[in-house]
Chains A and B, each alone.
Chain A
């Protein structure tokens, strides 16, 4: 569907309606998504944006008598085009989960006991404001840290900047995408962003390195991946586990974990030695090729074979397949890429491989983002924080994003009081005990706090440690700051509009932030009264009107995704220091780091232990959905994947109950064993997000094992502070008594 044309046509419709009668939102709604049927029920259809994960798919909420009876994909959405995954389809079970947080709560017992008193919103926000004022006086505003996530997090970020603290950090950086954004920015001058700008539909070869698409469901990316498969695209899946993607791959490379850089260097060696790289592209756009060629000369497939435990011939064959398919090759940058502490360098290696194949900015490779203008409020300047960031972003971790911050740096600062004490945490839209590794350390940090505030939808474990719990409305009940996506073939804006009124006493994030601001005398940073006013300002320069956006849920703009589209531009498409793709990184050299990626040996599991690896299931998001009635029925708990050989050695059979114990003696909850040939003998695998210890989650409580709980060690990336989380080893202990 050509969204640009249909947008114009739609604008025409608006004009016609406007000329005739008053164009109400209902009239426009009827134009796009007329009332219809859900099952056998008559419903209104409200266009909004999903938040069962963070891909932001288009949703139509089917509403009857103020109740959301069904969610379905929004066919008008430029990216997801009506497709919706299992989690998205199960969203009403979050909305109507009886376990939801219903009222503001003030802690009465000790931290961790879960004893609370129900209070009013007035009391809650007065309490919050008075504590924040007192902390600012006593310790300075910079001693308050924010842990935000999601679209509404922007309101809290504004609040905390106005309050005067620089300390805000999202796990999406140091526990997820940070290393690749840094590695690709060093190389191409721009980060990848989300959704990843991958031209999968047009690709001829897809290289997945530890990315298990399929189990990891981002709707539009799955559609594109499957389309590529049906068009005959080849797939190389590098993964110690036989994932769904590996089962569809032409080459499955069950690599020895942690040795990916060796494989990547060997691939580069073959491409350059055999002249299979895109020399014309490199000559035109890149610098540092000679240094790279010299660097990789010794890294032959035979060298890598000894390290990766993959056959040299397979390494050579796969490199040749890439050379033959270039430039229509997507080397998937991955999503959660904080693995071994050398992750920025691995991302660099992947970026350089992408460059050698000439894929960046080319059809079937990675496309360029197309910005869309965004409106801004005329805000007073934020006060200068009395002290710099406490998490080391920009200092101890020189390449860490100062916008997104380093969560584990904040945890460290809270525990040690260095560089200065952190006295309060405000947690919004995330679960710090599941998203940040070393939860034991996180608890120690929380123990040192004067104030812990959690804004959440469900009573996850962290609320038991909070002084104040603020129940947020779910994504179906609230307006969120618009999502502006520049990294799609066509950039677009979409909005989360409420489909129904908030249940119980829950309140939208924007309201909580704005009301808190009012009490702190920070109104000036919230110069709008309603979501409509907020939206109108953000979209003001976009040449669309709010009614159109409300009717469609999302509006797209023309994109310029390929280098060919930019041929006439005076600016370089590669905004690096040199204006070229930097194969050799002067910036890294200046920091005393490897200017070209180098393999650093990885530790083997001690005798009797297996490396703990973890990943995703298609029906769950992080640790957020395990209590959802429908999704829980599909997958109530995870399984510990063990190789047939490991299981035989341990006398274990499929379905046996075991606990996993790590090298520090920390044990998981009991978990069933899955005995399979589909995993390397030196690994054990868990799907993330299970083994939750909050009694308030009646379905998820103590079901399965938590991988995060077993992460008592991390290896921190010295460049950007990311926590390498695949460095933990576990042994398997058979449970003789069942639960």
Chain B
């Protein structure tokens, strides 16, 4: 099975935002919201010895996605290819997954009231096309491919050129979005936009540890009750309502 990954070359990226707008256009993301965001770090240093960097943020399709655990309705799940998907028909817009995501990569669509985020353009992949952001990138700074394929660009960039993940000692969720480029540039970005520890306890974790079994039990109990009633009805026949 493919293990999809995306690599952004921070040396090449000029923060032109083509990826943001292409993604918005492809997926009907309302203006002001985004599935992929470009952010510039503040300029650091003292004139004239300065440095700055660019960060392209999106869903990292983590190996251990905290959002999946946090989702109470089962709308967020991870496919065998590693892509984290949101089933819009199951999403209740509770926002627990927003708290859980260390990369702030999710938003709630104000029109549909459902959560939305990057899915590596899964629908495009299924038609043999690359993600919209990769196709449009003016600086040719984005690469997409399969880490299981030793000949892919992403394999070379990750394993030979040492593209890195945005992880810290506190946040290790196995992101599959990588960043290539000079160490110093990546360090700047990491210092400016570190992943935030998932806020699971208050929301998702409490849900998954306590509420989830309770609700499941309740759902199960309801089902049993319904079944009992149904069989009772079968046995006894339907009674007319009395006015």
Chain A residues within CB distance 8 Å of chain B? 36-40, 70-73, 82-90, 92-93, 213-215, 217, 219, 222-223, 225-227, 229-230, 242, 244-248, 252, 254, 618-619, 629-634, 643-644, 676-678, 680-681
Contact = CB atoms under 8 A, between A and B. Distances in A.
Q: Which of B25, B48, B135, B140 has the most CB of A within 10 A?
A: B25
B130 to A, nearest CB: 10
Interface in B114-139: 123-124, 127, 132, 135-139
A72 B43 contact: no
A254 B28 contact: no
5 contacts: A82-B135, A90-B21, A247-B53, A618-B15, A678-B43
A246 B32 CA distance: 29
A525 B15 CA distance: 46
B25 A89 contact: yes
A629 B28 CA distance: 13
A37 B26 CA distance: 10
A84 B48 contact: no
A618 B13 CA distance: 12
Given A247-B52, A630-B31, A678-B50, A89 B123 contact: no
Contacts of A217: 14, 16, 138
Contact of B17 (A71, A252, A618): A618
Contact of A230 (B12, B50, B52): B12
Closest 6 CB pairs of A and B: A214-B14, A226-B139, A226-B12, A89-B21, A633-B31, A618-B16
B123 A37 contact: yes
B12 A38 contact: no
Contacts of A219: 138
Contacts of B31: 93, 629-630, 632-633
Given A86-B16, A89-B18, A226-B12, 7 more contacts: A40-B123, A82-B136, A86-B17, A86-B18, A90-B21, A223-B138, A247-B51
A618 B43 contact: no
B123 A227 contact: no
A311 B222 CA distance: 80
Question: Is chain A's interface secondary structure helix, strand, loop, or mixed overall?
Answer: mixed
Contacts of A223: 138-140
A354 B135 CA distance: 34
Contact of B21 (A37, A40, A86, A643): A86
Contacts of A89: 18, 21-22, 24-25, 136
Contacts of B135: 72-73, 82
A603 B54 CA distance: 36
A213 B43 CA distance: 18
Contacts of A40: 123
A217 B138 CA distance: 9
Contacts of A225: 14, 139
B17 A619 contact: yes
A39 B123 contact: yes
Interface in B1-60: 9, 11-18, 20-22, 24-28, 31-32, 40, 42-48, 50-54
A446 B172 CA distance: 64
Contact of A252 (B24, B48, B53): B48
B27 A229 contact: no
B88 to A, nearest CB: 11
Contact of B140 (A39, A227, A254): A227
A226 B26 contact: no
Nearest to B127: A37
Given A676-B43, A678-B43, A214 B52 contact: no
A443 B68 CA distance: 61
A678 B52 contact: yes
Contacts of A215: 14
A72 B140 contact: no
B181 to A, nearest CB: 9
A252 B12 contact: no
Contacts of B45: 677
Nearest to B12: A226
A603 B136 CA distance: 44
A639 B47 CA distance: 20
B192 interface: no
Interface in B187-243: none
Contacts of B140: 83, 223, 226-227
A633 B32 contact: yes
A84 B18 contact: yes
B47 A643 contact: yes
B136 A73 contact: yes
Contacts of B132: 72
B21 A252 contact: no
A516 to B, nearest CB: 36
Q: Which of B24, B45, B48 has the most CB of A within 10 A?
A: B48
A222 B25 contact: no
Contacts of B44: 677
Given A85-B138, A86-B17, A242 B25 contact: no
B118 to A, nearest CB: 14
Q: Which of A38, A222, A632 has the most CB of B within 10 A?
A: A222
Given A85-B16, A633-B31, A226 B21 contact: no
Nearest to A681: B47
Contacts of A632: 31
